[in-house]
Amino acid sequence: MVKIFIDPGHGGSDPGAVANGLREKDICLAIALKLQDVLKRKYVGHQLKFSRTTDKTVALKERTDMANNWNADYLVSIHVNAGGGVGFESYIYRGKYANKDYTKGLQRVIHKEIIRVTKFSDRGEKEANFHMLRESRMPAILTENGFIDSVNDVNHLKQTKFLQKIANAHARGIAKALSLQEKSTKQGIDYSKGHDAAHKYHVVQKGDTLWSLAQKYGTTVNQLMKWNQKVVPEYLQIGQRLMIARKESGGNGMYHTIEKGDTLWKLALTYGTTVARLLELNIGIDPKRLRIGQKIQIK
């Protein structure tokens, strides 16, 4: 079982690079959560651990301590670049160490896959003295996924579909580099017919939790509990059928109830839409004054 540690850069009080209405910490987390989904859905033979799965402050030392104490086999730190450039680049530690050739080989596989899938301009496979690379005891890579201050790159980084493409590329690269096996059968969503056609369901698999399903399907644990009132969170059963999305009765739309910390930009990333589309669907809504408990149409 390969243990992979995923580190979405920055977070909490550290926004990372900020430009063009975007914050690096938000993009890194969005990519990381999508990467988690792809790796769990498509591949077997691995375990995942994250330095953060929410917008919280985590010190650099705490991140590498988590990876080292977990005895991770590989560390992937996800970032977005800034400083007047364009394209993708990746880094490994530039010092001398025993497994450098192996680390370089893993970097080469992942780097090439990300370039191939995303079509980013290739800035090269590089080395640096970054903390995440230097202080981790396992092979590690740090990816810089486009420039937040580049008009060319930011037009892509604002698109949820492109962030999904970046996540897919990371997943494919990691799978190739670490020889992860692809799942042989389709699992997960059950698109039911008949009277349930307006809803989507998930068939519980080994390792599923309400939290992981909420992250995977862009909803919340509270909402899943409301939709599945008989479910006992601590005792999910393999093969159990859970509702993970529904359309409001009497209409074709999908809705979200505002919770603390929600913004239109975060909801757009979560539900695979755009802020402009949310504003179009919710005429008169004030993006700066979302109210907890307020219901807004998503699709």
Gyration radius (Cα) of the chain, Å = 20
Q: What is the DSSP letter of 218?
A: T
Compute the C-alpha angle 124/46/223, nearest 5°.
100
In this structure, are residues 148 and 82 in contact, taking their beta carbons and an 8 Å threshold?
yes
- Take residue 215 and report the two structure tokens written for it: 């992250």
Helix residue ranges, H only, 92-203: 100-118, 131-134, 151-157, 160-178
Four-CA torsion 40, 143, 71, 94, nearest 10 degrees: 160
Q: Is 144 a catalytic residue?
A: yes
Selected catalytic residue, list 144, 234, 248, 280 = 144
Distance (Å, whole) CA 27 – CA 163: 8
Is residue 146 helix, strand or coil? strand
- List, by residue number, the catalytic residues: 144
